[in-house]
């Protein structure tokens, strides 16, 4: 008698397999086929096909999640010639806080690399960060001073020089370690007893006044300048160089008695605040405004920087330096600094703020 083969029931397995296939198809449909692509989402938001192509081309895929609504500013941002792909998220975040701002200002401010997002976006802020001598730690003061001055370069110049404060306020001691670039003005002062330890006396060939001493390096540069001028038939001589603290006390008091404190402060330094105490400057030839029209003054204005000297109190910079125009007063800073100051039309205050104190 033959044994009957046991019949395997296949139906349950087939059913389970079919269910798995069906579930897979349903999952695939809802998560791929039926799920709208990012391109579809952009179209649904209202972007044209051309705009969608631009967005897909210029915006990193990781930043797609930040596009949640239709906004013309998005297209304006990525169409800007200054657009940077790696800054997209920052542009959008800053724009969302400043929806009334110009998109190009947003981009300029973000591209500056400074963290300025706590400040309201504006054409003023964009202009400020675009200035060569912008210093980020001064931004709040720039914006505050804009209430008094509208020209951006002037705002930068005044604030960098501390001249947005009243003269002789918020003063501090000059940093003597700065050597030839030591800053002495109405905000920086020298110690009462300070006297350079390398003063040398100019001979009669180079001097015509009683204050005939300068620091050694400055004196040597001054003599080279005088010799160079002579080759062009220009005669230059020192009229007043190093002046001690005590000397300045007597000089300043004399001017105050004669003209009053307010007027004296326009043309004379208070004791301790005079550059002459550094031994790095010289009043040349005639200490009179008429000197500006002489061939000597014109030669100095054109050539002094080549020897390391700068016109210390230039015309139209009175509100920066705190002193009226003095065509006779030259200060030694070294050839490298003098060249920059001359070519960029800076004062020592402006140079110091950006290149030294910054």
All domains in the chain, ordered by first residue: 38-130 (no CATH), 172-357 (3.30.1380.10)
Q: Tokens in use for 224?
A: 């080279």
Question: What pLDDT was estimated at residue 69?
Answer: 64
Question: What pLDDT was estimated at residue 152?
Answer: 97
Over residues 324-350, the pLDDT tens digits come to: 999 999 999 999 999 999 999 999 999
Calculate ∠ Cα 103-108-114, nearest 5°. 125
How many CA atoms lie less than 13 Å away from 53 in the CB half-sphere?
3
**pLDDT above 50 (res 34):** no
Distances, alpha carbon 313 to alpha carbons 247, 249, 259, 277, 320, in Å: 21, 21, 21, 16, 9
| Long-range Cβ pairs for the range 264-271 (8 Å, 24+) | 265/167, 265/168, 265/322, 266/323, 266/324, 267/323, 267/324, 267/326, 269/186, 269/323, 270/168, 270/186, 271/192, 271/245, 271/246
At which residue do the structure tokens 């703020």 appear? 353
**pLDDT above 90 (res 64):** no
Question: What pLDDT was estimated at residue 90?
Answer: 92
**pLDDT above 80 (res 351):** yes
Give 15's pLDDT tier (boundaries 50, 70, 90): low
Claim: this prediction has a pTM higher than 0.75:
yes
Give 40's pLDDT tier (boundaries 50, 70, 90): confident
72-79 vs 49-58: helix crossing angle, rounded to 10: 50
Over residues 99-119, the pLDDT tens digits come to: 899 999 999 999 999 999 999
């Amino acid at each position: 008698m033959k044994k009957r083969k046991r019949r395997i029931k296949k139906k349950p397995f087939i059913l389970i397999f079919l269910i798995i296939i069906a579930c897979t198809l349903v999952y695939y449909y809802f998560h791929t086929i039926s799920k709208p692509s990012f391109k579809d989402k952009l179209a649904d938001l209202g972007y044209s096909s051309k705009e969608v192509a631009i967005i897909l081309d210029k915006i990193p895929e990781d930043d797609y999640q930040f596009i949640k609504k239709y906004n013309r500013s998005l297209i304006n941002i990525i169409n800007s010639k200054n657009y940077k792909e790696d800054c997209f998220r920052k542009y959008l975040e800053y724009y969302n806080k400043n929806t009334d701002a110009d998109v190009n200002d947003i981009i300029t401010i973000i591209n500056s690399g400074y963290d300025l997002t706590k400040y309201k976006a504006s054409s003023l802020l964009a202009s400020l960060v675009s200035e060569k001598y912008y210093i980020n730690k001064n931004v709040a003061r720039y914006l505050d001073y804009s209430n008094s001055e509208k020209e951006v370069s002037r705002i930068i110049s005044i604030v960098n020089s501390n001249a947005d404060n009243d003269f002789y306020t918020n003063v501090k001691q000059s940093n003597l370690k700065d050597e030839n670039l030591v800053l002495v003005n109405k905000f920086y002062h020298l110690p009462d007893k300070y006297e350079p330890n390398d003063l040398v006396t100019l001979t009669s060939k180079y001097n015509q006044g009683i204050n005939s001493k300068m620091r050694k390096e400055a004196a040597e540069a001054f003599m080279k300048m005088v010799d160079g001028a002579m080759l062009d038939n220009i005669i230059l001589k020192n009229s007043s160089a190093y002046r001690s603290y005590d000397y300045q006390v007597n000089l300043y008091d004399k001017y105050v008695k004669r003209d009053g404190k307010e007027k004296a402060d326009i043309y004379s330094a208070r004791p301790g605040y005079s550059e002459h105490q550094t031994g790095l400057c010289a009043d040349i030839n005639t200490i009179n405004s008429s000197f500006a029209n002489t061939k000597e003054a014109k030669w100095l204005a054109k050539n002094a920087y080549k020897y390391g000297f700068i016109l210390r109190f230039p015309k139209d910079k009175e509100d920066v330096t705190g002193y009226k125009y003095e065509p006779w007063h030259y200060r030694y800073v070294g050839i490298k600094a003098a060249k920059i100051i001359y070519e960029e039309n800076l004062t020592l205050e402006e140079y110091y703020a950006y290149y030294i104190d910054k």
